[in-house]
Amino acid sequence: MGIDRRDVIKFIVGGAVGSTLTPIPWKLTDDISIWTQNWPWIPTNIGGKNEYTPTVSKLCPSNSGMLLRTVSGRPVRPQGDPDSPLSGGKISSLAAAEAQMLYSPSRVRRPLRKTSDGTYKAVSWAEAEAILSEKLGNATGGVGVISGDENGSMNEVLSALAAGFGSDDCHFMPGSAQAEAVAYNQLMGGEGQPAYDFEKADYVLAIGADVLESWGPVVATRRAYADMRPHGEDPKSTWVYAGAFQTNTAAGADRFVAMRPGAQVALALGVANLLIKEGASATGLSGFASLAAQYTPEKVAEVAGVSPDALQEIAKGLASAQKPLVVVGAEGNEGGSTAAAIAGIACNMLLGSFKAVPYPRTVVQGAMGRGDMLAKDVASYVAGFKGGKAPEVLITYQANPVYALPGSIKTKEAFENVSFKVCFTTYLSETALASDLILPVPHSLEMVDDVATPYGYGKALYAVARPLVPTLVDAKHPGDFLLGLGAKLGKDLGFASYQKVLEAKARAMGANWADVSRGTVYVSDSQASTYGVRVDADAVAKAAAVVEVADLTLCPVMKLNFGTANCGIPPFNLNTIRGDELDSDYLYAHLNASTAKSKGVAQGDVVRISSAAGTVMAKVNIFEGVMDGVVAIPKNFGHTAFDEFTRGKGDNVSALFAVASEPGTQASVWTGQAVELKRA
Amino acid sequence: MASKKEFDIVWGMVIDLDKCTGCGACMVACQAENNVPVTKDATNKLRSLTWLLVYELSNGKPFPDHDVAYLPRPCQQCGNPACVPVCPATVTKKDEEGGIVSQVYPRCFGCRYCMASCPYHVRYFNWFDPVWPEGMEKTLSPDVSVRPRGVVEKCTFCHHRWMHAKDKARVEGRDPYALEQMEYQTACTEACPNGAIHFGDLKNPEHTVHELSKSKYAFRLLERLGMDPQIYYLSRREWVRRLGDNYLDDEKTGDFKVVGGHGHG
Ligand code: SF4
Ligand code: SF4
């Protein structure tokens, strides 16, 4: 029997038909999928009743208004709250990760006390309280406070307690609000907080202020930006960003104008000069016009590197706008020039767009007002610890000075001069690990707190953050704890609980507690009088005179998705960090090709960047969005504390900040830092 | 090209790249909404999972003429998806009203043909079992299943939100296939503080995406491949539009014929 061609074809066809009809391949793929999906644990979805409860973010400096989604009480994630003026239904990259941060591996789970061998031992709250009352009770050498929360009422409890021990050494960590508070409240005779009406602004000039990413209540600002720019239509507003690095704000702006870091004062004076030439005037500016007149476009080009054409165009744009706005801020939102803040306010006065809102009124007896606390210079305070001016007890509250203060201060060493340091913190930060007593603060979704008129917002505002989930760790409300402790030490602050403080605060703001405690945000139209405000032209002239052009200048960059000094880098935000921002363990320093060439370095080279204060190591990323002679380095990397998601990633740019005293204003400044860069 | 399925509803996005500032809020919202796990070394983009990834674009000019833009890139939900025909296990299909390309995880056995075929690199493979820091798994959303090791995943246009919106309409006695634009929005659209992302039915004249997708500033990624993506981008800047299709330096924008046709309009 032979096999002919027909048989072969039959066999092949039969085989093909058979293999299509047989279930075997399908069974096999099914089996493979079962076996490849065999894994040790599968979190099963836990369903239940959905609820969306309004609150406000205390984790993100933008103070996003949020709706926390819970499923049967279990927090899932926050979304933007459409009814909140701080959100408009939108959310920041950091607030979007707030619920997950409840379970951050770096949460402090119980009170910890440092032992004589430097390790930490868990103590009960009763023991912690006993230790702290003993230290405070004997604190003849004074009590100091450093707070990392600029707009909460905890500052009242802290400063009132310190006042009970005869101290007014209560400080904020460096931020955008400070230079302006010193400028406006101390040097210009103004009362209240300068306010920025981004809503309906048709021309915004941001001088170094990263208004679309990290400056002020940025989600609200971005809503105002978006509202004036409907899709598919020509934008109804013009946004100009002047800075040394194409930040996120530059990406959203209609125009990016290159300006050297630290040259804000020169550019603001240059703008004022052209506005005055066009006929703008305002009371309180005597002597200012002749100072501004020196900042001709040519002079501004020389000092700030801003092209004369760009300057003319900006001045024209501002002068012809209906609602123009000038916002001055520092690169990285810290260490900015007070003189620049004065010049910025002067520009807004000339444009008729300057306004101020009252600082939230204090309700705790003896508490310091926000303006007074903002006027305190934390950099010189901590630097003074080494010169015998250390307090006996230092309270840090949701602040991380050991990591974040300028390198020249050598904060960790300065802290060694303080005999007792207590750190109130949610996360195990560098400052916690340099403290004698670590007291866990509940997560922002676990405790009642508030946001009163955040800096950068256009109106007085009051919002309450609510405890929406039970506290997961052995933490106590710091307000309740300190009020109780004060009473025991004979320094009764007049409130039985922190909530009572907030109720009083709501009343003082003009808000109804029942409403705000349910998540409604209170907004008021009250404004602070700007009568009698004047510019000290002499002080500005002195400060502006020292703005110099260095061979290489540092531009620190802050982005909310990198997290903050207080919370580290949230695990959920790591994915947003690009491969040209962080390379496993090296940070990227951004230079343009021509600067890199002049330094003899190329893409990917490991370099050592140093200043009078310190050194950081980084890899070079060539990015043409950096100005000539500038190196841009992101903030919030190089942590040595927190968890595996934060620790050991790159270097800390703050190490390079060297504090200087600004001539004319005497304020501490560290922008426009000259640095050196060499191949490592 | 295989016969293309037509739908009455075509969910799509129009992303305004002149408004996107690259903040990453959309990425974080997406990750939390869809139970995407975290990685310690997330800068290693080969190992991290990002259903939505924001790319930085450059006009390629030296300072001071340099310009930057950011491009959020979800699954393009192609009209002619390259990933569908190559899938041996019928995990990924384009056969449901709305035109969302499906990904049925329990069927996936991880051959990764779809990843190789997708020109937009939107698909991710779970090399490891997903892990969340201890306790963080309690924040997982009940709407989306968690994917194990060995499985490919990608953006689904928050498909579960569509199902919820349809259910709600049904309960209220309305037509689940006649939703208002705001009834079904993806997590990224909802999050974006700049309102850079618009989402809706490209075929429905009452949804803003319908008109916006026809804007003279609208373009799609690698349009010449003929994949017919349901994601449109807008930019007034020509260099941004040109990058969308990887033009040669001396080539003029629009100097080509669209292959595959528009699945909407
Ligand atoms: S983008 Fe890729 S994964 Fe998405 S439909 Fe198109 S080919 Fe498939
Ligand atoms: S949230 Fe909006 S602005 Fe931010 S990266 Fe996403 S699309 Fe761009």
Task: Specify the CATH number for the domain of residue A228.
Answer: 3.40.228.10
**Rounded average pLDDT over A191-202:** 95
**To the nearest whole number, what is the mean pLDDT of chain A?**
94
Residue B254 has pLDDT above 90, yes or no: no
Predicted confidence band of residue A503 (pLDDT cuts 50, 70, 90): very high
Q: What pLDDT was estimated at residue A621?
A: 97
User: What is residue A171's three-state secondary structure?
Assistant: strand
Pocket perturbation via mutation, ligand 2, pick of B18, B192, B197 by most ligand atoms within 8 A of CB: B192
Least CB–CB distance from B31: residue in A102, A246, A572: A572
Residues A27 and A65 in one domain: no
Count of CA atoms in the C-beta half-sphere (13 A) of B130: 26
| Identity at B48, one-letter amino acid code | S
Predicted confidence band of residue B39 (pLDDT cuts 50, 70, 90): confident
CB–CB of B109 and A36 under 8 A? yes
**Total tally of structural domains belonging to chain B:** 1
CB–CB of A97 and B58 under 8 A? no
CB–CB of A571 and B62 under 8 A? no
Residue A90 near residue A225, CB atoms below 8 Å: no
CB–CB of B40 and A33 under 8 A? no
**Rounded average pLDDT over A125-149:** 93
Strand order in the sheet with A522-524: A449-452, A460-465, A522-524
Residue A20 has pLDDT above 90, yes or no: no
Whether B101 is in the pocket of ligand 1, judged by its Cβ within 6 Å, is: yes
- Closest-lying ligand 1 atom to the alpha carbon of residue B84: 8
Strand order in the sheet with A50-56: A50-56, A65-71, A74-80
pLDDT in tens, A114-124: 999 999 999 99
Structure tokens at B62: 């030296």
Within a domain: residue B114? yes
B77 alpha carbon – ligand 1 mean position (Å): 6
Residues A378 and A337 in one domain: no
Residues A73 and A126 in one domain: no
User: What is residue A655's three-state secondary structure?
Assistant: helix
Residue A659 has pLDDT above 80, yes or no: yes
Structure tokens at A517: 């405690």
Structure tokens at A408: 């020249």
Closest by CA to A315, choosing from A347, A352, A291, A287, is A347
CB–CB of B132 and A103 under 8 A? yes
Within a domain: residue A657? yes
**Rounded average pLDDT over A489-513:** 96
Decide which of A244 and A48 is more confident. A244
Give the C-alpha separation, B4 to B62, whole Å: 44
Count of CA atoms in the C-beta half-sphere (13 A) of A93: 29
Residue A268 has pLDDT above 60, yes or no: yes
Within a domain: residue B261? no
Residues on chain B touching A94 (C-beta within 8 angstroms)? 28
Give the C-alpha separation, A186 to A161, whole Å: 25
Q: What count of CB pairs under 8 Å joins A to B?
A: 247
| Identity at B61, one-letter amino acid code | K
Decide which of A30 and A257 is more confident. A257
Q: What pLDDT was estimated at residue A38?
A: 59
Task: Report yes or no on whether pTM surpasses 0.90.
Answer: yes
Least CB–CB distance from A212: residue in B21, B129, B133: B21
Instruction: For residue A463, give how far its alpha carbon lies from the nearest alpha carbon of chain B (Å).
Output: 19
pLDDT in tens, B204-238: 999 999 999 999 999 999 998 999 999 999 999 99
Instruction: For residue B77, give how far its alpha carbon lies from the nearest alpha carbon of chain A (Å).
Output: 22
Residues A212 and A346 in one domain: yes
Look up the CATH number of the domain holding residue B180.
3.30.70.20
Q: Pick the ligand that lies closest to the CA of residue A252.
A: 2
Convert chain B into a string of H (helix), E (strand) and C (coil).
CCCCCCCCCEEEEEEECCCCCCCCHHHHHHHHHCCCCCCCCCCCCCCCCCCCEEEEEECCCCCCCCCEEEEEECCCCCCCCCHHHHCCCCCCCCCCCECCCCCCHHHCCCCCHHHHHCCCCCCEECCCCCCCCCCHHHHCCCCCCCCCCCCEECCCCCHHHHHHHHHHHHHCCCCCCCCCHHHCCCHHHHHCCCCCEEEEECCCCCCHHHHHCCCCCEECCCHHHCCCCCEEEECCCHHHHHHCCCCCCCCCCCCCCCCCCCCCC
Within a domain: residue A503? no
Within a domain: residue A17? yes
CB–CB of B25 and A93 under 8 A? yes
The number of angstroms, rounded, from the C-alpha of A416 to the middle of its chain's C-alpha atoms is 27
Q: What pLDDT was estimated at residue A26?
A: 65
pLDDT in tens, A594-636: 999 999 999 999 999 999 999 999 999 999 999 999 999 999 9
Within a domain: residue B132? yes
Residue B262 has pLDDT above 50, yes or no: no
Cβ count near A51 (within 10 Å)? 14
Residues A573 and A554 in one domain: yes
A143 alpha carbon – ligand 2 mean position (Å): 44
**Closest CA in chain B for residue A68:** B139
**Total tally of structural domains belonging to chain A:** 5
Residues on chain B touching A229 (C-beta within 8 angstroms)? 19
- A308 close contact with B: CB closer than 8 A: no
Look up the CATH number of the domain holding residue A126.
3.40.50.740
Residue B261 has pLDDT above 80, yes or no: no
Q: What pLDDT was estimated at residue B1?
A: 45
Instruction: For residue B259, give how far its alpha carbon lies from the nearest alpha carbon of chain A (Å).
Output: 25
Residue A39 has pLDDT above 60, yes or no: no
Peptide bond into B64 cis (omega under 30): yes
Percentage above 90 pLDDT, chain A: 89
Phi-psi map region of A665: left, alpha, beta (phi>0 left; psi -120 to 50 alpha): alpha
CB–CB of A33 and B107 under 8 A? yes
User: Among A450, A468, A494, which residue terminates a domain?
Assistant: A494
CB–CB of A251 and B32 under 8 A? no
Strand partners, B201: B11
Q: What is the ipTM of this complex?
A: 0.92
Q: What angle do CA A163, A165, A166 make, to 5 degrees?
A: 60
Give the C-alpha separation, A58 to A621, whole Å: 33
- Closest-lying ligand 2 atom to the alpha carbon of residue B19: 3
Q: What pLDDT was estimated at residue A138?
A: 81
Instruction: For residue B49, give how far its alpha carbon lies from the nearest alpha carbon of chain A (Å).
Output: 8
Within a domain: residue A502? no
The CA R_g of chain B, rounded to the nearest whole Å, is 18
Least CB–CB distance from A90: residue in B20, B48, B193: B193
Residue A523 near residue A461, CB atoms below 8 Å: yes
Residue A102 has pLDDT above 80, yes or no: yes
Q: What pLDDT was estimated at residue A199?
A: 93
User: What is residue A243's three-state secondary structure?
Assistant: strand
Look up the domain containing B55 and give its range. 11-243
Sign of CA dihedral A377, A57, B159, A569: positive
Convert A91-150 into a string of H (helix), E (strand) and C (coil).
CCCCHHHCCHHHHCCCECCCCEEECCCCCEEECCHHHHHHHHHHHHHCCCCCEEEEECCC
Residue A578 near residue A650, CB atoms below 8 Å: no
Q: What pLDDT was estimated at residue B179?
A: 96
Within a domain: residue A404? yes
Within a domain: residue A177? no
**Rounded average pLDDT over A357-364:** 97
Within a domain: residue B262? no
Percentage above 70 pLDDT, chain A: 94
Q: What pLDDT was estimated at residue A19?
A: 58
Predicted confidence band of residue A15 (pLDDT cuts 50, 70, 90): low
Strand duo A660-661 + A668-669: pairing: antiparallel
Q: What pLDDT was estimated at residue A28?
A: 67
Which protein residues touch ligand 2 with a CB less than 6 Å away?
B 20-26, 54, 70, 72, 191-192, 194, 196-197
Within a domain: residue A582? yes
Least CB–CB distance from A231: residue in B16, B142, B144: B16
Sign of CA dihedral A582, A583, A585, A586: negative
Whether B77 is in the pocket of ligand 1, judged by its Cβ within 6 Å, is: yes
Give the C-alpha separation, A520 to A513, whole Å: 10
Residues A559 and A674 in one domain: yes
B54 alpha carbon – ligand 2 mean position (Å): 8
Residues on chain B touching A223 (C-beta within 8 angstroms)? 193, 195
Residues A287 and A328 in one domain: yes
- Closest-lying ligand 2 atom to the alpha carbon of residue B72: 7
B17 alpha carbon – ligand 2 mean position (Å): 9
Residues on chain B touching A77 (C-beta within 8 angstroms)? 29, 32-33, 139, 141
Residues A481 and A594 in one domain: no
Instruction: For residue B22, give how far its alpha carbon lies from the nearest alpha carbon of chain A (Å).
Output: 6
Q: Pick the ligand that lies closest to the CA of residue B71.
A: 2
User: What is residue A621's three-state secondary structure?
Assistant: strand
Within a domain: residue B5? no
Residues on chain B touching A592 (C-beta within 8 angstroms)? 62-63, 66
User: Among A472, A494, A516, which residue terminates a domain?
Assistant: A494
Q: What pLDDT was estimated at residue A471?
A: 96
Residues A339 and A279 in one domain: yes
Predicted confidence band of residue A341 (pLDDT cuts 50, 70, 90): very high
Within a domain: residue B253? no
- Closest-lying ligand 2 atom to the alpha carbon of residue A222: 3
**Rounded average pLDDT over B102-115:** 93
Predicted confidence band of residue A388 (pLDDT cuts 50, 70, 90): confident
Least CB–CB distance from A560: residue in B23, B32, B148: B23
Least CB–CB distance from B27: residue in A74, A575, A623: A575
Cβ count near A117 (within 10 Å)? 6
Residues A463 and A391 in one domain: yes
Within a domain: residue B227? yes
Instruction: For residue A538, give how far its alpha carbon lies from the nearest alpha carbon of chain B (Å).
Output: 34
Please, what's the b/e burial string for B162-195 (b: 16 or more CB within 10 A of its CB; e: otherwise)?
beebbeebeeeeeebeebebebbbbbbbbbbbbb
Residues A593 and A475 in one domain: no
Inter-CA distances, A198 with A187, A457, A596, Å: 25, 8, 38
Look up the domain containing A97 and give its range. 52-102
Interface mutation target, options A471, A572, A592, chain B, most CBs of B under 10 Å: A572
**Closest CA in chain A for residue B187:** A79
Give the C-alpha separation, A374 to A357, whole Å: 15
pLDDT in tens, A422-451: 999 999 999 999 999 999 999 999 999 999
Within a domain: residue B250? no
| Identity at A255, one-letter amino acid code | R
Residues on chain B touching A38 (C-beta within 8 angstroms)? 148
Within a domain: residue A517? no
Residues A60 and A92 in one domain: yes
